[in-house]
Chain A
């Protein structure tokens, strides 16, 4: 019994190591795409534009910096996530490197999880760079509320991780352009969840049922939106944090499991 458990533990450790190695490799690969240069240049432009906009906002500079800065951060992370996420699998198939990897004792599931981890590492690095820039900007302005701001940035990262899962899910069965479009549309629907809910409450019973199904089926990305509240002095609520974390884990698991199932079918 103990020997079996030990063997299982050893196997699990081995697989986690494999996921980590593939993840690290994916991370290096995406970084090599000169994503970071682009992000650094772009975020400098965004900060400059935000400061310029803030200067003509009739005393609302802090508000403008917060709303534009956080929105730009989310937008940039989503661009990386959607485009890199939908290219990752396709590129390996196009270059036929996937067959080289799969001849090794690496299952498709491990490979896909590694890809997820790698992109998550890239997004984390970019998010940390932009988040630090944002925190410094607020500090210089003398309006930094550290914990709420960090919580808001963490939620932006969580949303990006979920979008990685969405893009991997789509790219496990669709071509890169289609999966980018699908992911983009799901993100849009995910951010319209409150509108969807409002419309459903006013609709006829059949439409209401349909809209409510869509509401629960599509990812509710507005749950990760603390950006609007940060402007008005956000107080972070532990129950809210836990609920959002639970939602993130649950929904990501569903997407990853579906993507793994598609991978197991071996369409590539």
Chain B
């Protein structure tokens, strides 16, 4: 006949076993059962961030601590692997954290690096814009936004403008101006690019940046010079030259000057402008 004490121990062990088994079963259901519960996405593993207004209203002054809480949740979410192919709540999480802690600089940088790769390029750009508003003296938000415009949107003018804004911050790396110049050139805002490169070549602390900017400046000057010669050709023959070597053949040039950047230049057959040969 078991004593009451023994019975109690047996019951406690049984109850512990039951709670453990239920926990394991619940976890398996949460993690692996989207198909079975009839949803195309497992809402049980992804965070469900509240709207920023609600979160702010209910933070009761602990908005920075709450932002940190959601920051840790975001890291766990992103670090936990993609649930069903897409981090649906990633952009919302970045938005929420930066609404709760508008001056949390590192979140903007991380968001601008991570979000575009996960299919949130527009949200990343919006995050960058928010970062520029909330941290007006920081060069990072526009700098990283510039990269997003370049890599994910192929919008070189917007990239150039973003780098230009970054370069206005006193702590900005010297290459911000340099990048602005490159992208203005890519976007064909060559006059702006010229001014920026000129400024960099005269003012940058970095010898490498100065040297590179001078070479870009040289290429732009070469392009402007060649376009003047093309104008003279057009005035004489009433058509565009077929290529740059024709300018030499008709004696408008003795030879084609060397491009300091070493890139091959060509004439755009539509506009007559000189451009870098597409690779």
- B-binding residues in A (CB < 8 A): 53, 56-60, 63-64, 67-68, 70-71, 188, 191-192, 194-195, 221-222, 225, 227-228, 231-232
Residue of A nearest to B57 (CB): A195
Counting from the closest, the 4 A-B pairs by CB-CB distance are: A191-B60, A191-B61, A71-B65, A67-B65
CA distance A266 to B42 in the complex (A): 61
- A-binding residues in B (CB < 8 A): 56-57, 60-65, 67-68, 71-72, 75-76, 103-104, 106, 110
Instruction: State whether A58 and B106 are in contact (beta carbons under 8 Å apart), knowing that A64-B72, A195-B56 are contacts in the complex.
Output: yes
Number of A-B contacts (CB under 8 A): 54
Chain A residues with CB under 8 Å of B71's CB are 57, 60, 64
Which of B56, B57, B106 is A60 in contact with, Cβ under 8 Å? B106
Residue of B nearest to A189 (CB): B60
Chain A binding surface, main DSSP class: helix
Nearest CB in chain B: distance from A223 CB, A:
10
Is there contact, CB below 8 Å, between A57 and B65?
A: no
Is there contact, CB below 8 Å, between A58 and B110?
A: yes
Chain B residues with CB under 8 Å of A57's CB are 68, 71-72, 75
Nearest CB in chain A: distance from B224 CB, A:
46
Chain B residues with CB under 8 Å of A64's CB are 68, 71-72
Nearest CB in chain B: distance from A157 CB, A:
16
Nearest CB in chain B: distance from A250 CB, A:
20
Is there contact, CB below 8 Å, between B65 and A58?
A: no
Known: A53-B72, A57-B71, A58-B110; 16 extra A-B contacts, CB below 8 A, are A56-B75, A58-B75, A59-B106, A63-B64, A64-B72, A67-B67, A68-B68, A191-B62, A192-B60, A192-B61, A195-B57, A227-B61, A227-B64, A228-B61, A228-B64, A232-B103
CA distance A53 to B73 in the complex (A): 10
Nearest CB in chain A: distance from B219 CB, A:
40
CA distance A225 to B57 in the complex (A): 16
Chain B residues with CB under 8 Å of A228's CB are 61, 63-64
Is there contact, CB below 8 Å, between B64 and A231?
A: yes
Of B64, B72, B104, the most chain A CB neighbours within 10 A belong to B64
Nearest CB in chain B: distance from A192 CB, A:
6
Chain B residues with CB under 8 Å of A222's CB are 61
Nearest CB in chain A: distance from B63 CB, A:
7
CA distance A68 to B69 in the complex (A): 9
Residue of A nearest to B106 (CB): A60
CA distance A8 to B60 in the complex (A): 46
Residue of B nearest to A69 (CB): B65
CA distance A53 to B67 in the complex (A): 13
Residue of A nearest to B103 (CB): A232
Nearest CB in chain A: distance from B77 CB, A:
12
Is there contact, CB below 8 Å, between B76 and A56?
A: yes
Residue of A nearest to B56 (CB): A195
Nearest CB in chain B: distance from A109 CB, A:
33
Residue of B nearest to A224 (CB): B61
Nearest CB in chain B: distance from A54 CB, A:
9
